[in-house]
Chains A and B, each alone.
Chain A
Amino acid sequence: MFKTVSKRSPSKLARFRTALFGAVAISCVGMSGVSAGTIEFWTLFSGPDGAAIDALVKDFNATAGKEADVEVKLLIIPWDDFNTKLSVAMASRKAPALTVVNSDQVPVYANQGALDPFTAEELAAAGIVEADYVPKAWQAGNFDGQQYGVPISIFPRSIYYNKDLFEQAGLDPNSPPTTGAELMEDAKAIAALGDGTTGLFFNLAGSGTFRNFYSIYWQYEDSLYNADMTNVSDTFTATATKVLTELKSFLDAGVTPTRDVGADASKLFAQNKIGIAVMQITDLPVYQAAAKDLGLNYGIAGFPTFGDEPAVFAMAHEFLIPRGTNADARADALTFVKWIGEHGVEWAKTGKVSPQYSVIESEAYQALPEQVIVTESIETAHFPAPLVNQPAVDRVVQQVLEEFYAGRTTVDEAVSKLAAGIPPVLTK
């Protein structure tokens, strides 16, 4: 019995070896996730825009990618875990060939040497032209004179208003508030409707706190910092006091919840319980769905002007190429970046302002009324200072504002805490 088997075994063994080798080879390719012309792409888009970027990637792989022999493998990571996972992947030399981050993270990663800058030649070879991009968004991808990012979208603060509640309150549903005073008047009129209706929502917790604060601050003064970015500006205390006094007046007037309803704000707005909500354009898909499913009648408008000049906080999503990506993969990644730019209208539909003039000026984009309204505000948009420590400053500001909104500090105390808390973080 054994002999028979052993006589036949060489050919079987050979076949087995071949099969084993093949299986190992296939599994090795599978484990690395990378084959020739395949690039990994990690994004933080996990909401409705996650489905959109997934559809775009599939479209690219089936069309332009196929022609160029490039396949994009998408990995969506929830945004609150994104930077942790990306940094760990970078540290273990397993970073993707392409990723997207919020623009305030560009200086952080670039300063760590975690990114390789784009060269003018490779951008030109891919057909990516700086002149096609909104300068502020392009600059947000720049650190220390090197271009690390190519913007895919811009998301400024804006307001959503409930047209039905406006009508019920005797307000013109086609005239959203454009100033702080109008915002207060309209919010008071809507709050007077009673029945649990809130005039205004703005964030009392989370990142929305500092984004709103900066928006109003920049309407009075261009920068929070002094010229050499080592301290707050000389007039910081006076300006911050004005801003916090303005914001507190809404709480004191009883037109906005004094308790944080941040997580439920979208639902309350969709249920006609909030008249005006200060949010950003990325929330648009939620209200579009509510309009379709619940009959929500809403409008969108630019961030109201409280100060001397209009200004609004904005950030961009930037494509980045982590350090160590080889030349072929870089070229493949830029092929995809260019293609996404050409499909900017599809991407803008997920609640984004396009950073590209060629997209903004297209007929298809101009047929998106909400995006067009918010796009007008990019002229007055301010991006966070391109500082390594800016996210850390944001965390300080957020904490002080959360404490202030909870009624635990006065305006003066909160401003003092900001003035004392920002410089050490800024110069860390």
Chain B
Amino acid sequence: MSHLRARLFPFLLVGPYLLVFAIFLGYPIVRAIYMSLFDWGIFGPNAFVGLGNYTALMSDSRFWDSFFTTGRFALIFVPLIMVVSTLLAVLLHRKLPGIAIFRTAFFFPLVVNVAVASIAFKWLFEPQAGTINQILRLLHLPDQSWLTEPGWALVAIALITLWINVGFMVIILLAGLENIPDDLYEAANLDGSNAIQDFFFITLPLLKPILLIVMILSLVQAFQVFGEVLIMTGGGPFGSTEVLTMLLYEEGFRNFAIGKAAAIGVVITIIIAALSLVQFRVFRQR
């Protein structure tokens, strides 16, 4: 009996989470897969189409454009947030007076609503009166059409997504840094290492598992970016920031092709799951 209790106890502990997961994540995922098999309109299913929505996506150039745009966004965003959050975490890890204020300041954007942040950044990036171009002018650098030039628009969206999320990544990395024993740095210092060598030969290798988590989380964020795009560029200019989530929104809420939108959602989920799996495997092998 006690053996049975011992076996059931872990399930009891994870039970509440599993329940919440099943209701708020498991069911929506299963429901999305189900909907993706139908021609689904505003009022529900019109006809069963099997994999029709998926085959339609595969032959839809707009889907592939969105797919590659999302990939480009991930290529900008993921390395950017990894580098910036690691550097910030290392700086904030120093035991200096008042450092907690900086930690709070970097975490603060995470509690700001995406819509609010996007509207604020839209003003900052405004070509004529925006603060960012004003600063460029002070530095005698040319103005940029941040949100109306295809090249810059994706970068601008990556910057605001970075601003919102970097604090969370810093907190995770700080937790990782806390677990690196000070002895290692002391021993290395006795051997004459400098701060840069400490960073590359002690901090980075020991942070690898945490960096993996940061990479996966930021990749997931890259594939889920939506509010920033919707508010700042609406997918423009010329569709250059139409990421997969924007296409999903367009298909679902403008064209009312809800089955097709569900199929896009399923594809996004599969992509994220596959990339996460590959990353786990690669890091585990190393």
Interface set of A (CB-CB < 8 Å, partner B): 83-84, 87-88, 90-91, 108, 112-114, 205, 259-260, 264, 323, 391-392, 399, 402-403, 406, 408, 424
- Beyond the given pairs A112-B256, A399-B239, 12 more chain A to chain B contacts, judged by CB atoms under 8 angstroms and listed by A's residue number, are A84-B254, A88-B253, A90-B43, A108-B255, A112-B41, A112-B42, A114-B43, A264-B128, A399-B236, A402-B238, A403-B238, A406-B148
Does the CB pair B42–A90 fall under 8 Å?
A: yes
- Which of B42, B61, B236 is close to A91, meaning CB atoms less than 8 Å apart? B42
Can you give 29 contacting A-B residue pairs, CB < 8 Å? Answer: A83-B254, A84-B253, A84-B254, A87-B42, A87-B253, A88-B253, A91-B42, A91-B43, A108-B255, A108-B256, A113-B41, A113-B42, A113-B43, A114-B43, A205-B148, A205-B237, A259-B127, A259-B148, A260-B148, A264-B128, A323-B43, A392-B255, A402-B236, A402-B237, A402-B238, A406-B148, A406-B237, A406-B238, A408-B238
**Contact B41 A399, beta carbon cutoff 8 Å:** no
Question: How far, in whole Å, are A112 and B253 apart by their CA atoms in the complex?
Answer: 12
Measured CB to CB, the closest approach of chain A to B112, in angstroms, equals: 21
**Nearest CB of B to A94, in Å:** 12
How many chain B residues sit at the interface, stated as a range, is 10 to 19
Contacts of B134 in A (CB 8 A): none
* B69 interface residue per 8 A CB criterion: no
User: Which A residue's beta carbon lies closest to that of B249?
Assistant: A84
Task: Give the residues in chain A near B203, CB-CB below 8 Å.
Answer: none
**For the complex of A and B, 8 pairs with smallest distance between CB atoms:** A403-B238, A84-B253, A112-B42, A112-B41, A91-B42, A114-B42, A399-B239, A90-B42
CA distance A88 to B258 in the complex (A): 11
A391, chain B: closest CB distance, angstroms? 7
Give the distance to chain A from B267, nearest Cβ to Cβ, in Å: 18
B225-267 vs A: 1/0 string, CB under 8 Å? Answer: 0000000000011110000000000000111100000000000
Give the Cβ gap from B254 to chain A, nearest Cβ, in Å: 7
**B145 within 8 Å of A (CB atoms):** yes
Which B residues between 43 and 57 are near A, CB-CB below 8 angstroms? Answer: 43
CA gap between A260 and B147 in the complex, in Å: 11
Residues of B within 8 A of A259 (CB): 127, 145, 148
Which residues of B lie under 8 Å from residue A406 when comparing CB positions?
Answer: 148, 237-238
Q: Using CB atoms and an 8 Å cutoff, list the residues of chain B in contact with chain A.
A: 41-43, 61, 127-128, 145, 148, 236-239, 253-256
Residues of B within 8 A of A112 (CB): 41-43, 256
Complex: A259 Cα to B146 Cα, angstroms? 13
* Across-interface contacts of A205 in B (CB, < 8 A): 148, 236-237
A391 touches B41 (CB 8 A): no
Closest to B258 in A: A91
CB proximity of A336 to chain B, nearest CB, Å? 24
**Bound Cα distance from A88 to B42, whole angstroms:** 8
Distance from A206 Cβ to chain B, minimum over Cβ atoms (Å): 9
* B145: nearest chain-A partner, CB-CB: A259
Separation in Å of the B211 CB from the closest CB of chain A?
38
Bound CA span A395–B140, Å: 38
B42: A residues at CB distance < 8 A: 87, 90-91, 112-114
Using Cβ atoms and an 8 Å threshold, which residues of chain B touch A91?
Answer: 42-43
With A and B bound together, what is the CA distance between A91 and B40 in angstroms?
11
Q: How far is the CA of A113 from the CA of B42 in the complex (A)?
A: 8
Q: Which residues of B contact A392 (CB under 8 A)?
A: 254-255
Q: Which residue of A has the minimal Cβ distance to B59?
A: A424
Q: Are A83 and B253 in contact (CB under 8 A)?
A: yes
CB distance from B259 to the nearest CB of A (A): 13
CA gap between A91 and B41 in the complex, in Å: 9
Bound CA span A304–B252, Å: 38
CA distance A408 to B239 in the complex (A): 13
Give A93 to B255 CA distance when docked, in angstroms. Answer: 19
Residue in B closest to A322 when the chains form the complex, CB atoms: B42
Residues of B within 8 A of A399 (CB): 236, 238-239
Which of B236, B237, B238: most chain A CB closer than 10 A? Answer: B238
A67 to chain B minimum Cβ distance, whole angstroms, is 36
Distance to closest chain A CB from B252 (angstroms): 9
Q: B270 to chain A: closest CB distance in Å? A: 24
When C-beta atoms are compared, the residue in chain B nearest to A263 turns out to be B126
Chain A residues positioned under 8 Å from B238 (CB to CB): 399, 402-403, 406, 408
Task: Report B-chain residues with C-beta under 8 Å of the C-beta of A402.
Answer: 236-238
Measured between C-beta atoms, what is the minimum distance from B88 to chain A in Å? 35
> Contacts of B145 on A, CB cut-off 8 Å?
259
Query: CA of A135 to CA of B41 in the docked complex: distance in angstroms?
Result: 31
Point out the residues of chain B lying under 8 angstroms from A113, CB to CB. 41-43
Residue of A nearest to B61 (CB): A424
Which of chain B's residues has its CB closest to A400's CB? B238
Q: How far is the CA of A403 from the CA of B61 in the complex (A)?
A: 17
A425's nearest neighbour on chain B, judged by CB, is B62
Q: Which residues of A contact B128 (CB under 8 A)?
A: 264
How far apart sit A108 and B238, CA to CA, in the bound complex (Å)? 24
Q: Tell me, rounded to whole Å, the shortest Cβ–Cβ distance linking A244 to chain B.
A: 16
Least CB distance from A246 to B in Å reads: 21
Which A residues lie within 8 Å of B253 (CB)? 83-84, 87-88
Q: What CA separation (Å) do A424 and B59 show in the bound complex?
A: 11
Taken together as a complex, chains A and B put the C-alpha atoms of A88 and B254 apart, in Å, by 11
CA distance A205 to B253 in the complex (A): 22
**Chain A residues within an 8 Å CB radius of B127:** 259
In the complex the two chains form, what is the Cα distance from A408 to B253 in whole Å?
30
B156 to chain A, nearest CB (A): 16
Q: Max chain B CB contacts within 10 Å: which of A114, A260, A399?
A: A399
- Which residues of chain A are within 8 angstroms of B239 by Cβ–Cβ distance? 399
Residues of A within 8 A of B256 (CB): 87, 108, 112
The answer for the CA separation of A260 and B61 in the assembled complex, in Å, is 27
Compute how far the CA of A87 lies from the CA of B254 in the bound complex, rounded to whole angstroms: 9
The residue on B at minimum CB distance from A391 is B254
Q: For the complex, give the distance between the alpha carbons of A402 and B233 in Å.
A: 13
Shortest distance from the beta carbon of B220 to any chain A beta carbon, whole Å? 24
